[in-house]
Amino acid sequence: MPKDTRRAQEFFSGTGAFTKTFRGDREELVLINDGSADLTFTAGATTFTLKPGEVFDEEINPFSAIDVTATGSFRGYVREDA
């Protein structure tokens, strides 16, 4: 089996309104809603709502920043080539 060459990079976490700009375009996002209420994020053309405890771990259209609207805590990172 070929070894996966994607690596976690540019970790972030926060509570409430949050914006993170990355070092370049990204296509893989992991976001974990640690709060007790819905969290909504926008990354490029993708907008999605995560329920409490849900994890978003997807390849999406290229994005260079993420905007999060939440009342609770969250954490995440992007993947890029190793």
CATH number at residue 65: 2.60.120.10
Answer yes or no: is 26 within a domain. Answer: yes
Cβ-contact 76, 13 below 8 angstroms? yes
* Residue numbers of the domain that contains 24: 6-81
How many domains does one find in the chain?
1
The whole-angstrom separation of Cα 68 and Cα 14 is 9
Answer yes or no: is 11 within a domain. Answer: yes
- Condensed to tens digits (0 to 9), the pLDDT of residues 54-70 reads 999 999 999 999 999 99
* pTM score: 0.91
Q: Which residue has the tokens 């994005």?
A: 63
Answer yes or no: is 1 within a domain. Answer: no
What is the rounded average pLDDT of the residues 18-44?
A: 96
pLDDT computed for residue 2 by the predictor = 56
Angle at 52 between CA 49 and CA 55, to 5 degrees: 65
